[in-house]
Amino acid sequence: MCGIYIHIPFCKRKCIYCDFYSVCGDDKLYGDFVSALNRSIKMRKDKRIKVDTVYFGGGTPTVLKSSQLALILNTVKNCFDVSPDAEITVEANPCTVTRESLNELFIGGFNRISFGIQSASDDELSALSRLHNYEQAKEAVLNAESAGFTNISADIMIGILNQTRQSLADSIEKITSLPVSHISAYMLKVEENTPLDKMIKRDSNILKSIADDDEMSDRYLLMCRLLEEKGFLQYEISNFAKPSFESRHNLRYWRCEEYLGFGPHAHSYFDGKRYFENCNVSQFIKSDGKSEIAYTDTDVDKAEEYIVLSLRLAEGLDTDRLASLDKEGRYRNITSNAMEINGLADERLINISQNGKHLSLTERGFLVSNTVISRLLN
């Protein structure tokens, strides 16, 4: 089985914290872009490839017309063997959808929608330079529900400028009372060269309004608890779902399964290689979808990747599967290393099963997962 990722690199406005590839598009480009994208998918046509997840990410896919998105999805279906019960997701910004456009998306074949809501506080939303307010977000979710979507996801952000624990709890309360079945919760990170980064460099006082590491951790733990109370179970560092509503496409990433990406900067993992389409929007259009491929890893170290990725998941790591990938036995001591780390730490960071064959990180372990994982790799 394989996943398909479609990257739509357009936004109405760039958010101050975002460093993903997207441009504030000139909507005249959209038509040419869709043609180029369709072309690039067709060039890869292979009906032997079975697909059970399709994900339209961005940018903001919904800056395109629903009909354009449906057309692209149709191309995907024509080029690959997409199973009838495939999970087909589109990301959306609350202010780029209407009742009609959501209806069209649902009819066009999309069955999962992910809204970048971020917060239920309008002050926090404007501090992030988001275009929507909470009322619009709420309306978008309700419209999606009435269009037929039963699998709706919302993003929540922790550590937003001027956020307090109370306002975070309030956002969680409000957003989980909407008909959503999945929550992605991210901690705000100041990435280099983003507008937020530049603002802070000009005025370091801004940093004071962003949660520091300790506060961020406390809010994260608070959020895990509140979401659990609402029936959202954590299945990945930043992802929570009602039972059976986990994002199958995202799980694919953490389970080291294959996916093909289309569009500028879209990443793929296929046939043991990791690569991405190395071009910007205008190059992509000019080349009519035949963009240059940049390899990031042509000889994937499957054992190492399995450790790195599986430990992001609540389901964790299975030492038998690791052993089957780790021919040289580099990580045969992983369980005793894990015990050693638990012994050092003041609180348990790693759950180790009775028979020692299964490892997963605790909530606190997730919070320091980079350090824990790099220690396990050494």
Partner 1 sequence: MKKEQIRNFCIIAHIDHGKSTLADRILELTSSVELRDMEEQLLDNMDIERERGITIKARAVRLNYKSKDGENYVFNLIDTPGHVDFNYEVSRSLAACEGAILVVDASQGIEAQTLANTYLAIEHDLEVLPVVNKIDLPSADPQSACEEIENVIGIPALDAPRISAKMGTNIEEVLERVITDIPAPKGDDNAPLKALIFDSYYDQYKGVIIFVRVKEGTLKVGENIKMFATGAEFQTVEIGYMGATSLVPSGELKSGEVGYIAASIKDIGDTRVGDTVTSVERPCAEPLEGYKKVNPMVYSGIYPTDGAKYPDLRDALEKLRLNDASLSFEPETSIALGFGFRCGFLGLLHMEIIAERLEREYNLDLITTAPSVIYKVTMTNGDVLYIDNPTNYPDPGLIACAEEPVVSADILAPSEFVGNIMELCQDRRGTFKDMKYLDETRVELHYELPLNEIVYDFFDALKSRTRGYASFDYEMKGYQESRLVKLDILLNGEVVDALSFIVHTDKAYARGRRICEKLKETIPRQLFEVPIQAAIGGKIIARETVKAMRKDVLAKCYGGDITRKKKLLEKQKEGKKKMRQLGSVEVPQEAFMSVLKLDE
Backbone torsion region of residue 55, taken as left when φ is above 0, otherwise alpha when ψ lies between -120 and 50, otherwise beta:
beta
Q: From 73-81, 114-122, 164-172, 209-217, give the range in contact with partner 1 by CB under 8 A.
A: 209-217
In SS3 terms, the chain reads as: CEEEEEEECEECCCCCCCCCCCEECCCCHHHHHHHHHHHHHHHCCCCCCEEEEEEEEECCHHHCCHHHHHHHHHHHHHHCEEEEEEEEEEEECHHHCCHHHHHHHHHCCCCEEEEEEECCCHHHHHHCCCCCCHHHHHHHHHHHHHHCCCEEEEEEEECCCCCCHHHHHHHHHHHHCCCCCEEEEEECCCCCCCHHHHHHHHCHHHHHHCCCHHHHHHHHHHHHHHHHHCCCEEEECCEEECCCCCCHHHHHHHCCCEEEEECCCCEEEECCEEEEECCCHHHHHHCCCCCCEEEEECCCCHHHHHHHHHCCECCCEEHHHHHHHCCCCCCCCHHHHHHHHHHHCCCCCEEECCCCCEEEECHHHHHCHHHHHHHHHC
Q: How far is the CB of 216 from partner 1 (least distance, A)?
A: 6
**Binder among 7, 112, 182, 248 for partner 1 (CB under 8 A):** 7
Q: How far is the CB of 363 from partner 1 (least distance, A)?
A: 11
Q: Is 149 in the site for partner 1 (CB under 8 A)?
A: no
Q: Which positions from 8 through 27 interact with partner 1, judged by CB under 8 A?
A: 20
Kindly tell me which of 214 and 328 has the beta carbon lying closer to partner 1.
214
Q: Is 186 in the site for partner 1 (CB under 8 A)?
A: yes
Q: Is 193 in the site for partner 1 (CB under 8 A)?
A: no
Q: How far is the CB of 253 from partner 1 (least distance, A)?
A: 5
CA distance 306 to 324: 11
Q: How far is the CB of 349 from partner 1 (least distance, A)?
A: 7
Q: Is 115 in the site for partner 1 (CB under 8 A)?
A: no
Q: Is 226 in the site for partner 1 (CB under 8 A)?
A: no
Q: From 38-46, 160-168, 169-177, 262-270, give the range in contact with partner 1 by CB under 8 A.
A: 262-270
Kindly tell me which of 206 and 368 has the beta carbon lying closer to partner 1.
368
**Binder among 33, 262, 269, 284 for partner 1 (CB under 8 A):** 269
**Binder among 22, 93, 96, 268 for partner 1 (CB under 8 A):** 268
Q: From 2-10, 116-124, 126-134, 139-147, give the range in contact with partner 1 by CB under 8 A.
A: 2-10
Q: How far is the CB of 148 from partner 1 (least distance, A)?
A: 26
Q: Which positions from 84 through 103 interact with partner 1, judged by CB under 8 A?
A: none
Q: Which of 271-288 are b and which e, b meaning 16 or more Cβ less than 10 Å from the residue's Cβ?
A: eeebbbbebebeebbeee
Would you give the binding string for partner 1 spanning residues 56-75, x where CB under 8 A is met?
Answer: -x------------------
Q: Is 330 in the site for partner 1 (CB under 8 A)?
A: no
Q: How far is the CB of 238 from partner 1 (least distance, A)?
A: 5
Interface positions with partner 1 (CB under 8 A): 3, 5, 7, 20, 55, 57, 186-187, 189, 213-214, 216-217, 220, 237-238, 252-253, 259, 261, 266-269, 274, 276, 296-297, 305, 308-309, 312, 341, 344-347, 349, 366-375, 377-378
